Amino acid sequence: MVALALAGCTLPGAEEDKPRPVISAPPPLKADIWQDIASSEDANRIRRVGSAWSTGLEEARRAGFENDIKAEGKLLNANAAQARPAPTPGSYSCRVLRLGKENGKGPAFQKFKPFFCYVAVEGDLFTIVKQTGSQRPAGRLWEDDNPTRLIFLGTVAIGNEEEARAYGEDPRRDSAGIFERIAPFKWRLVIPFPQSGARLDVLELTPVAEQPPE
């Protein structure tokens, strides 16, 4: 009887000696960083990138550009993103394709002349700068929790401006998108619902064969 009574009792301090589970806070999401920087409008554009692809391609096909789309291969395949999207720093040959009509007017598929752009490293981030032309996008690439993409947040320099303004300084100049690797030595920057009023801008980046000396 005494033994049974003792078995049902808890000795002082016995609870304190029991091992307790260690509860640690989950690691912060990478997306939290860029979402804190992006405007609500740009964050919404990035969330709707799938819609930009579907409506842009649909408008272009309906306007008779099916063969032009096929000729671009993976560049205009919405699901072509591959792992390890980080680019190699250096000079690139770049060109822009535009899907969907601008503010409901004009052609639904446009290709622009190639130009040069440059990828550099600034601290822990990659930067992209278009080096020539009357409109020169520039911005930073931020890590995302989706391992096949980086997030682009930037602005556009116009005319004789020596450099682009800081992101957020003038919302009318701001630009946001998805940076992806689609093949060995080929990347693309996808800008959903750009300021131009089109459905999608796709910037193709291919490294220049002969890199300029640093």
Residue 4 pLDDT class (50, 70, 90 cuts):
very low
pTM: 0.84
pLDDT tens digit sequence for 54-89: 999 999 999 999 999 999 999 999 999 999 999 999
Single-letter residue type at 116:
F
| Predicted confidence (pLDDT) at residue 176 exceeds the cutoff of 80 | yes
Structure tokens at 112: 């622009």
Give the pLDDT confidence score for residue 2 in this predicted structure: 43
Give the pLDDT confidence score for residue 9 in this predicted structure: 47
From residue 161, how far is each of 80, 115, 117 by CA, in Å?
35, 18, 16
pLDDT tens digit sequence for 98-126: 999 888 888 999 999 999 999 999 888 99
Torsions phi, psi for 187 (to 5 deg)? -130, 170
Give the pLDDT confidence score for residue 61 in this predicted structure: 97
Residue with the two structure tokens 């690139």: 92
From residue 97, how far is each of 20, 50, 113 by CA, in Å?
58, 17, 9
Give the pLDDT confidence score for residue 103 in this predicted structure: 82
Query: CA 175 to CA 194: how far, in whole Å?
Result: 7
pLDDT tens digit sequence for 11-62: 455 555 666 666 665 667 889 999 999 999 999 999 999 999 999 999 999 9
Q: What is the Cα 65 distance to its own chain's centre?
A: 26
From residue 47, how far is each of 61, 134, 150, 188 by CA, in Å?
24, 29, 13, 18
